[in-house]
Amino acid sequence: MDPEILRTSFAVVERRAEFAVKYFYSHLFWHNPDVRALFPLDFPEDMERQRDRLFAALTHVVGRLGEPGTREYLWELGRDHRKYLAEPEHYAAVGASLIAAFAAVSGSAWSAEVEKAWGEAYAVIADAMLDGAWEAESQGEPPWWDAEVVGRKRYGDDLAVVTLRPHHPLPYVPGQYVSVNSPRIPGVWRPYSLGNAPRPDHTVDLHVSLIEDGVLSTELVRRTREGDILRLGAPGGRLTLRAPVERPVTFIAAGTGWAPVKALLEQLTGEPGSYEARVFVVARDTAYLYDRVALGELCGRLPHLDVTVITPAPGRPKAQATDRLRTALGNRANWARHDVYLAGPPKLVDEITEALPALGTDPERVFCDELPPTGQGQARPLGPGEWLLHRPRPHWHNPSARVPDQPSLD
């Protein structure tokens, strides 16, 4: 397996990503019609989401071949794919169609040598994913957890906190996320952060913001009621407290990024000792500063917690909240001493992650999960000339990312 051949050929494929994915699915379903049921492509945005997930995984693997953590990433991917009822024979079918699609879009750049490299690479990928699936099954872990809706709070027209009681306890660590499915929308899963530390009654909270044309977010915010059953995938994510907590901690939460930060703060209240901690809570408008009672309770339980709440000025655009956050961060000191945990919309997470080192933060001490884009993606130009002149940044490529996970907002 030659990593350089893989990276070079993948760069060619990436330029024709849309066509490659369409060819991949056409080839897969034509040669394996029974596999069609495993792919939820019945909604307009699902093809784009599937494309982004496919290329996100490939970009991560191809860019990090041989590096520490790659096998663990594939192991977790295989563990999670059990929720799609994927079997070993499906992996073989997907591999054959993936290589056929790459060959179709590569033109003269494809060769026997390139095909051999991809065949070997896919074998490594599939073996690691199957190992992850097998190990999870051998430990008795289900492909998903059924969970009953036992509570539901609405905040305005487009935000809800849904409380679930899994039929069997869900093992997770504060700051992690789960993929969520409603049986009313078969096959459609979206990742959401868990909004609380583990409780004695095993209930968990999902903080759901309504996304325009979001299939599952619309279902959860507007139609889900107490007594309904949802499915939760295996917990994942790297936004977890580094233990032991030996450094001051800064939390930055924007929108429903408050969910994992709230879980981390709850965990901190149960840790022995007294910690220097500060939290920045950012909202696009004062109306979206939800869960303020819980924030006040956490302040009472963490006497050394410093809280800064940031919104745009009245009548100003929501983007001003990011500018105000930058100013507030710049007015604080001792960034070199702090671990920083960051959660929120992808664009804000990217911007703040890039800004923190200039304040003195060690980039290795900034912790966040990669977040997929929300809502509809940027339209791609149709003509090859326009594509070359104004090529948009691919959704699936994040060269500055340090962790492989892709959680949080629908």
pLDDT category at 367 given cuts 50, 70, 90 is very high
pLDDT at 407: 40
Backbone torsion region of residue 315, taken as left when φ is above 0, otherwise alpha when ψ lies between -120 and 50, otherwise beta: left
Asked whether residue 264 falls in the same domain as residue 349, the answer is yes
pTM of the model: 0.81
Residue 403 lies in a domain: no
> Does residue 284 sit within a domain?
yes
- Are 292 and 330 found together in one domain? yes
CB 344 within 8 A of CB 254: yes
Same domain, 217 and 90: no
The two structure tokens encoding residue 185: 């929308």
User: Considering the domain boundaries, does residue 404 fall inside one?
Assistant: no
Residues 19 and 127 both lie in one domain: yes
Distance, CA of 14 to chain centre: 21
Rg of the chain over all Cα atoms, to the nearest angstrom: 22
Domain harbouring 302, CATH code: 3.40.50.80
pLDDT over 90, % of the chain: 55
Q: Contact at 8 Å (CB) between 123 and 98?
A: no
**For residue 46, how many other CB atoms are within 10 A of its CB?**
15
Stretch 49-67: mean pLDDT, rounded? 71
Look at residues 114, 138, 162 and tell me which one is the last residue of a structural domain. Answer: 138
Assigned domain for 406 exists: no
Under the banding of pLDDT at 50, 70 and 90, the label for residue 42 is low
Q: What is the pLDDT of residues 316-339, one digit of tens each?
A: 888 889 999 999 999 999 999 999
Q: Identify the CATH number of the domain in which residue 204 sits.
A: 2.40.30.10
Residue 89's domain is classified under what CATH number? 1.10.490.10
**Would residue 393 count as lying in a domain?**
no
Do residue 169 and residue 132 come from a single domain? no
Q: How many domains does the chain have?
A: 3
- pLDDT greater than 70 at residue 48: no
**Is residue 122 domain-shared with residue 191, that is, in the same domain?**
no
State whether 121 and 187 are in the same domain: no
192-212 b/e (C-beta count within 10 Å ≥ 16 → b) = bbbbbbbeeeebbbbbbbbbe
> Among residues 178, 238, 237, which one has the least CA distance to residue 208?
178
Give pLDDT tens digits for 235-262. Answer: 988 899 998 888 999 999 999 999 999 9
- Domain-located, residue 241: no
Residue-by-residue DSSP string for 81-95: GGGGT--HHHHHHHH
Q: From 61, 189, 60, 84, select the one nearest 133 (Cα to Cα).
A: 84
165 and 122 in a common domain: no
If asked whether residues 108 and 207 sit together in one domain, one would say no
Same domain, 205 and 258: no
Mean pLDDT of 303-328: 90
Residue 103 has pLDDT above 60, yes or no: yes
Which domain, by its residues, includes 222? 145-232
